Structures are given as C-alpha cells and as structure tokens.
Chains A and B, each alone.
Chain A
C-alpha cells in the first residue's frame, strides 16, 4: 500500500504575521517558515500506517518555491521515503494544487492520500475536498482517527457537535485534524539520512496544469485593532462593570 502526503511550506505558526504597508499581502521576507502544522500530522499518520498497517512506501509532495525542498526534507527525515517538488514561484490556489495532486495520484496510484485539513496561511480548507472531486475518491475530512480494514478506511471526523465515523472505500483521501496524533521530531541521524533520499523536481507544466489565479487579491489589510480596556481590582468591580456595559442583568 502506497501513501501520498501533501505538505505546504508556510509561515511558522508562532510568528505573528505583519501586513505589508502597501496592502499587497503579508510580509514573508526574512520570516521563519515551517511545515504547515496539519501537514506534520499527515506525515506522522502516514508513518504510523507504515509502521502498523503495512504501508510500503510514503511519497511526499509539495507545490511551491525551491525552498519548499526543505519542507520535503523534513518529511523525509520524519520517515517518508521519497519526495516530489512541483516547483513554482507563483502563488498557487487550492484548485490548481488539487489538479496537480490529481495528476500525481494518477501516476503514483496511492491507496491513501493524506493532507492537512487547512493551511494556516490562506486558511482555505479546500485542497483535500477538491482532490476528492477530481479523483472521484471518497474523502474523510477533519480526521481524528484513521483505521484501515482491508479495502476500506474507517475515518472518525471532528464535526460540529461531536464525532462522526465514515467508511471509505480505498483509495481514500484523508485530511487531518489536530487530535489525530502528535508528530515526531526527526532525529539528527534521520535528518542526515534524509539528505540522500530521492527528491525529484517537476513543474506545474509537466502535469499540464494551468496555475493562473481565479481569485484576484485586491487588498490585504490589518484587521480593526481592538483596544484593551481597563483592569478591575475585584469581583465586585467586575460585576458592576458588566452591569454598566449592559451585558449582564
């Protein structure tokens, strides 16, 4: 069983993003970048499928700039076997990423495709579902548990109001939620070993995918600033303040 994992290089989640003065976007120059946290969970789950459920090969894909190689190397150091970088300096929208992944799925024929439920930069939460539409595969989104039983996957999903379990015929697409697992840290020897694992570089054109954006970003602005109010000294003052604000009777 082959597993395909899609990873994205994004701003590190601990960094507070700064909006550019000219309103064209968020300033990413000299900002620490990392693997999208949900994608780390996807890589970890792929490795666990290899350790427990007999997955034979893990292929990691990233669509992005040359530097996204580092993100793929991180996944290889965690335990993935091989990488594919679809290199482009343009910003690629979820639909185009899904189209590229669909072509790679066709080539590689994985039984399970793992993705994060959303990237923490564009917060779109679309690629996995779109890949489902393009391949016709079933989708287990926002997964907090994945079990492979023969030719199907039981995926427990985090939904509003609780949990839901669905059975998906393999090949299946799974997008990971936070509680699926705790990703491992790559060890130093594994980081060294990852350097010699195969990583091929492609371009969107190799897959015949047009990455021209369908959405035009007109402006990126800071959200309205919230002014913190005063601190109060006691519970009595707090209650009085809440009453004066009219939020409690």
Chain B
C-alpha cells in the first residue's frame, strides 16, 4: 500500500496535526510519502525529512500553492494520487477544505475524521456529535481519509531520514484568489496540541471578565485558552477558541471547564480529555456527569483562589 500524506507546515516546521496524521499512516502500514506545498515548503522539508515513518518528502514549492486554496491544491493531489492507494489529510480546516474536493475528482467516497484504523479499509469515526461511533469499510479502490489528530500518536522527529524530491506543482486556478488573513494573536500554546486547556463559558458574563479570570489561570498552568460556543457567540472570546462539534476537537491531559454547562455540542469537542475539571455554580449542570473533579460554587471567587493556590 502506498500512502500520500498532505502535510501542513508553518515557520519551517511541520505542524503537530500532520505528525498525528503520520501516526495514522503508521497504523495503516505501507510506504508513506509526505507532501509539502507552497513557497516555504523547501524550508519545512529539512524538518520533515527527519520524521519517523516518512519514506519520501515531496516538495511542491510553488507560490501558487500558498494559502492552500483547494482549487489549486486538489488538482495536484488528484494527479499525484495516480501513484498512491491512500490519501491522508488532517481534519484541520485545511484538510477538510481540500480532501473532499480530491475525493470527488477521484470519484471515491471520503472517510471523514477517523479516530481508529481497524484494517487496511476499515475505520472508526464519530457521528452524531460523538454520540455514536461508526465502523465503516471503504469499498473504493483508492481511499481519501481525514484524520482526527487527537486520536493518534504523533510521529517522532529525529526518527527518520527521508529523501527529498521536488514535484511539479502545475497550478492553474482561474476561479479563486487569496485576499487577506487575520490571525488571532496568542502567545499561549495552540489549542489542539496543548497539554492543558482552560475553557470559559457564558457564565463569565463579559469579555473583560473572561480575560480577567481565564487568562491568569491559563498562564499559571501554561495552558491554552478555549471557550464554549455560547461564550464565543456572546463575543467573550474569538471564534477560533471554540471547543466543540462545530469548533475544535481537543484531548488534553487536563481540561478545566469554567462556567460551562456542558451541552452535547461542547462535550463532543472535549470528552476525550484525560482529566476533566468543572467549576460551575449549578450542581445539576451536565458537565458534572463527565467531570473527574467537580467544584460547585461562584466562579468569580473560586477561579482567582485557584489561580493563587496553584
């Protein structure tokens, strides 16, 4: 079996989400090549070639592939897939944008967001916001799969020595162009790869209180900051903080839910965390049904106290 992994990179480094996707490739078994795209791909190839389990690093260093527009990347993947049996992409917004476009070009079904590999064509994936786990078998000759990063062990750097090869990008995209990007600034760890996450909900009441309470606790723990959909919709936190079915799926060692009731859509994004702590004034809140440690009380008193005592 020949596997192609669509790599994502930034600042000369392969992203953690891609390392996890390579972990899924290792479970599948077979020769795995990693594709890096964009004008900075050559720089990231130095990092990529030392990653364990990578047979070859393919570099398509064309500026036309910057910003990873699906209309530019999908035809390239479609062409490269002539030589591969499986395409793996991460379940990031990039992977989820590009992979289905490739699947349709190949006329195959896509298996989205797998959490386990049961065999060369059999996978587990969550459906209904994680309330059910489906085991599916793909009957297509070629497979296109996106991988939930938090479900797989990351491939290790320094465990490999892959050859680097350039491939022709052949970009022709007459329909879309990049206009601008607005990054939300954060010096904290990235949400999906953080070991500890402190997440705030609607009970915080305002953006000021969200930052006044959640940020110091997160800084004390070296944690990333997350938020429930209610907190994001109320404008207390930016969109990309959102943890849940419609936001990010996380599975840190420790998840601290502050003022979050625990709606299904939120639980779908964090219930695989190792230890869950909930602080909420409503002792009937559903979050307490899954929390390992619960503390009932006024978060405006408890959170500063917790920050101080840690």
Contacts and interface: CB of A to CB of B under 8 A. Distances in A.
Contacts of B9: none
B159 interface: no
A28 to B, nearest CB: 10
Interface size class of chain A, counting residues whose CB lies under 8 Å from the partner chain: 35 or more
Contacts of B138: 214-215
B148 to A, nearest CB: 11
Interface residues of B, number: 90
A236 interface: yes
Interface stretch (B18-26, B28-36, B40-48, B66-74): B66-74
Nearest to B140: A214
Q: Is the interface of A mostly helix, strand, loop or mixed?
A: mixed
A130 B101 contact: yes
A169 B5 CA distance: 30
B264 A16 contact: yes
A11 interface: yes
A158 B135 CA distance: 30
A179 B230 CA distance: 12
Nearest to B179: A165
Given A17-B131, A214-B109, A215-B138, A162 B71 contact: no
A231 B246 CA distance: 29
B243 to A, nearest CB: 13
Residue of A139, A169, A230 with most chain B CB atoms under a 10 A cut-off: A139
Given A217-B136, A220-B127, A231-B283, A133 B309 contact: no
Contacts, number: 254
A110 interface: no
B70 A132 contact: yes
Nearest to A216: B137
Given A123-B245, A165-B181, A242-B254, A132 B133 contact: no
A91 to B, nearest CB: 12
Given A122-B127, A134-B104, A164-B180, A159 B139 contact: no
A217 B135 contact: yes
Given A123-B129, A221-B132, A239-B310, A162 B101 contact: no
Interface string B228-241: 01001100001110
Interface stretch (B57-65, B91-99, B161-169, B205-213): B91-99
Contact of A241 (B176, B183, B233, B293): B293
A228 B294 contact: yes
14 contacts: A26-B128, A95-B103, A138-B71, A157-B93, A158-B240, A160-B240, A162-B240, A179-B232, A216-B136, A222-B132, A234-B295, A236-B309, A247-B253, A248-B196
Closest 9 CB pairs of A and B: A129-B100, A133-B104, A138-B175, A130-B104, A214-B109, A229-B292, A126-B100, A138-B176, A231-B294
Interface of B: 67, 69-71, 74, 92-94, 96-105, 107-113, 122, 125-140, 174-184, 190, 192, 196, 221, 229, 232-233, 238-240, 245-246, 248, 253-254, 264-265, 271, 274-277, 283, 288-296, 302, 305-306, 309-310
